Amino acid sequence: MTDKPLDGRLALVTGASRGIGAATAIALAAKGAHVVLTARTPGGLEDVEATIHAGGGSATIAPLDLAESEAIARLATAIGDRWDALDILVLNAGMLGSLSSVPAIDPKEMAQVLTLNVSAQAALIAAFDPMLKKAKSARVIGVTSSVGRKPRAYWGLYGASKAAFETLLGAYGDEMAEISAIRTAIVDPGATRTKMRARAYPGEDPNSVKEPTVVADRIVALAIEGFEPGHFERVA
């Protein structure tokens, strides 16, 4: 097999300025994909882009807030004007929100979390559906959390948003399975050394959990090897 199995493929990675998103973007580019990087922080995106270019890869940055009205539509138009098809969509961007009991959930914060973790994800799928259908074998890979499947005290808001996200992505995968070459997968990264993890577990030694590159390697492997409809896996 060539060391560039994704040569000629186009990938879009959300939340690509740091953590799992950044590691995934770098790993996809190393395998030959041209990667569109999106996140709210231009500086972080520029750093990831520089790393990709230094490794001989190619990338385009698109700083934006996915929760902003019309931002996703603008992104889809810009990408669609330059490329015909989207081969890989990695839905990684997400917001933790405050960890609190269910009665203490702030309604305004709940709206923010659900907007980014659910509504924006649905909007991304809808906006890029035409380009995904044009790809020879499109892959849509969503990053989730175990609390979306197994409720945990004080994680109700984030867990509810991930449960909704999994349902949306899974339903889309079922809808596409018989009418297109689009396949969807859900990846639970498990304990991983990210900024979100550090916020949720402030007393934890970051060296006690795996690096984002471990998760990125699994996501890239799925993008290359493919998978059966409805695929789910947890990265140990």
pLDDT at residue 1 in the model? 55
pLDDT at residue 48 in the model? 98
pLDDT at residue 229 in the model? 87
Count the alpha carbons within 13 Å of 13 in the hemisphere toward its beta carbon. 29
For the chain, give the mean pLDDT: 96
- Three-state DSSP string of 134-176: HCCCCEEEEECCHHHCCCCCCEHHHHHHHHHHHHHHHHHHHHH
Q: Check whether 69 has a pLDDT greater than 90.
A: no
Where do the structural domains in the chain lie, given as residue ranges?
Answer: 10-234
pLDDT at residue 230 in the model? 87
Average pLDDT of the segment spanning 90-103: 97
pLDDT single digits (tens) 3-54: 899 999 999 999 999 999 999 999 999 999 999 999 999 999 999 999 999 9
- Determine the Cα–Cα distance for residues 28 and 19; give it in Å rounded to an integer: 14
Helical H segments across the chain, by residue range: 19-30, 42-54, 71-82, 107-114, 120-134, 156-177, 195-200, 212-225
Q: Check whether 218 has a pLDDT greater than 80.
A: yes
Of the pLDDT bands very low, low, confident and very high (cuts 50, 70, 90), residue 134 is very high
- Determine the Cα–Cα distance for residues 6 and 77; give it in Å rounded to an integer: 23
201 carries an active-site annotation: no
Q: Check whether 2 has a pLDDT greater than 80.
A: no
Which of 154, 158, 172, 201 is flagged as catalytic? 158
- Determine the Cα–Cα distance for residues 16 and 62; give it in Å rounded to an integer: 10
- Assign domain 10-234 one CATH number from 3.40.50.450, 3.40.50.300, 3.40.50.620, 3.40.50.720: 3.40.50.720
- Determine the Cα–Cα distance for residues 138 and 4; give it in Å rounded to an integer: 17
Predicted TM-score (pTM) of the model is 0.97
Contact of 194 with 19, CB cutoff 8 Å: yes
